[in-house]
Amino acid sequence: MWRHIVSNFLTILIVIMIALGGLAAWGKRQFSGPGPLTQAVCLQVKPGASFSAVSDDLAAQGAISSGYIFRAGADYTGKSGALKFGSYLVKPGSSMAEIVDQVTAGGPSTCGTEVNFRIGVTTTDVILRELDPNTGRYVEKIKFSPAVEATPSDFIDAAAKADVRLRVTLVEGVTSWQVVEALKRADFLTGEVADVPPEGSLAPDLYEVARGSERAALLAEMTARQSRILDEAWAGRAEGLPYDTPEAALVMASIVEKETGVPEERRQVASVFVNRLEQGMKLQTDPAVIYGVTKGQGPLGRGLRQSELKRETPYNTYVIDGLPPTPIANPGRAAIEAALNPDTTPYLFFVADGSGGHAFAATLEDHNVNVAKWREIEAQQGQAPAPVQGD
């Protein structure tokens, strides 16, 4: 009898163990397999939140099939104590394992609210956007210029969230003085800036920053990026260029950057200035003359005067030979690459064509035809004639 009881007990124990093993295997598949989410959602993990609260939120949004398995999986993988606050974009079909990895890895928020402090040539704008999880695109909610507008109250509330993603964008063609002055108004940054960085030394780019970051540290990162970009472009430069140092190439790149806003034209514009240098012609580029007037401290805001075009300054390329002594702005990667790998063209002249781009010419005769067309456009628009190459 006892033998029969023991046998039955062992049989039941084996069945239970098999069932538990099967249950564990099923749970593992549930944890590691594709999740039920059909549309992306934004998961916000608040400071001090628990895995229990996160699992409840995920279950409510239909991102996981079981809060218990989600929490058990986090325990099993040793990550239940590593939860990081922030906003996370959970993609369709994400497994519980992938979501656990996502919310414990940390880093910049991938959804929710973003504040972009955009430093432009004519204005600095603060833009608050929200990510639409369904489209993966940010939707602009608030935009203002801190130099001329008071900070909107709804912006203050939205930007105060702990998980807000902070970015600083440097637009191509801004000057170093403009960058420093703009960063002084970025109240999410700290620290003083002792000196304005050398012109051209800052890389136009997008920078992720943390609240309380040092302004000097951000400028150092901008400088390091520009140095890397210039070194890479210099290593791959074309042969026979009429400048033999990276510093001179940076000056050329800054002129190219300021002369055209059309990406496809950069290498053509660079070719014009390279050809002029090779033939001993003056560059005759207005942006350099303007820099000599403003010292890079903001836009000129008017046309150049004849007295300014005739005055001999280190930046008046209608008077001096060769390149000006320093860059006239901070050029982007594309302008630097254009300066170091210009197109091969016969062009010596270019003038605006009314479309936002330029008309190029190899001879003064052809250039004068293009200039006449541009003068007609200026007259139609009521603009005063601006100086052009060949004048």
Q: Which of 27-36, 197-206, 230-239 is predicted least confidently?
A: 27-36
- pLDDT tens profile 348-379: 998 888 888 899 999 999 898 888 898 888 78
- pLDDT average, residue stretch 243-248: 96
pLDDT of residue 40: 79
Residue type, 204: P
24: pLDDT strictly greater than 60: no
Q: Which of 9-23, 281-295, 299-313 is predicted least confidently?
A: 9-23
Angstrom distance (rounded) from CA 23 to CA 225: 53
Question: pLDDT band for position 254 (50/70/90)?
Answer: very high
Question: pLDDT band for position 136 (50/70/90)?
Answer: confident
218: pLDDT strictly greater than 90: yes
Question: pLDDT band for position 64 (50/70/90)?
Answer: confident
pLDDT of residue 82: 79
282: pLDDT strictly greater than 70: yes
Beta bridge partners of 207: 168
120: pLDDT strictly greater than 70: yes
Give percent above pLDDT 90 in the chain. 48
| 38 vs 344: which has the higher pLDDT | 344
90: pLDDT strictly greater than 60: yes
Q: Which of 4-8, 276-280, 323-327, 343-347 is predicted least confidently?
A: 4-8
291: pLDDT strictly greater than 60: yes
DSSP 8-state assignment for residue 202: S
pLDDT of residue 232: 97
- pLDDT tens profile 48-60: 778 788 888 888 8
Beta bridge partners of 170: 119
Question: pLDDT band for position 23 (50/70/90)?
Answer: low
310: pLDDT strictly greater than 60: yes
| 39 vs 2: which has the higher pLDDT | 39
pLDDT of residue 17: 58
Angstrom distance (rounded) from CA 193 to CA 97: 45
User: What does pTM read for this prediction?
Assistant: 0.79
**Burial of 369 from C-beta contacts in 10 A (0-12 / 13-18 / 19+):** middle
The 3-state DSSP class for residue 182 equals: helix
- pLDDT average, residue stretch 125-146: 87
| 211 vs 29: which has the higher pLDDT | 211
pLDDT of residue 390: 60
1: pLDDT strictly greater than 60: no
Angstrom distance (rounded) from CA 59 to CA 29: 17
- pLDDT average, residue stretch 270-274: 97
Backbone Cα Rg of the chain? 30
Domains of the chain, start order? 28-105 (3.30.1490.480), 241-380 (no CATH)
Mean pLDDT computed over every residue of the chain: 86
163: pLDDT strictly greater than 90: no
| 366 vs 109: which has the higher pLDDT | 366
Angstrom distance (rounded) from CA 103 to CA 287: 49
pLDDT of residue 21: 56
* Residue 53 CB partners (closer than 8 Å, separation 6+): none
Q: Phi and psi (nearest 5°) for 372?
A: -60, -40
pLDDT of residue 128: 92
pLDDT of residue 2: 53
Per the CB < 8 A criterion, the answer to whether 189 and 218 are in contact is yes
Token pair of 305 as six digits: 């005067």
The secondary structure of 235-290 as a DSSP string is: HTPPTT-S--SHHHHHHHHHHHHHH---GGGHHHHHHHHHHHHHTT-----HHHHH
- pLDDT tens profile 168-188: 999 999 999 999 999 999 999
Closest-CA residue to 253 (of 217, 212, 199, 303): 199
pLDDT of residue 362: 92
Angstrom distance (rounded) from CA 120 to CA 173: 8
